[in-house]
Amino acid sequence: MTPRRVIHIHPEAPPKPAPGQPCNGCGVCCLAEPCPLGVVLSRRLRGACVALRWDGARYLCGALTAQPSGLFGRWGLRLVRRWIAAGVGCDCSLEPAGKP
């Protein structure tokens, strides 16, 4: 049996998409653990990524939304998008169980 893990998801966050479907900003993956870029920014391997931002309707990666053209400059956005697997589709195997 897989141990349960509690993550706190904004109540208005969209439902987690099925694996392979486009990201919809549900936040499950980034709230559970940081991606490779998130490890660098958060300086940890577990827990919510410090770059994760709630915009009022969904979660966004702060490394992509930082001003003026992302945290790493205009051409660095390609590297950021690759590190966070932007455009690849949902690869999170966690499934939220709902409110306890």
Positive/negative CA dihedral, 62, 41, 78, 68: positive
- Looking up tokens 């966050």, which residue turns up? 13
Handedness of CA 56, 96, 88, 19 (dihedral sign): negative
What's this model's pTM, rounded to 2 decimal places? 0.82
CA proximity to 11, closest of 48, 51, 46, 57? 57
- pLDDT per residue as tens digits for the range 51-90: 999 999 999 998 887 755 555 566 677 778 888 888 788 9
Q: Could you give the angle at the alpha carbon of 23 between the alpha carbons of 11 and 88, nearest 5°?
A: 155
CA distance 20 to 12: 22
60 DSSP β-pair partners: 53
Tell me: pLDDT of 29 over 70: yes
CB under 8 Å to 36, separation ≥6 — which residues? 83
Looking at the predicted structure, is the pLDDT value of residue 18 above 80? yes
Residue 3 φ then ψ, to 5°: -65, 145
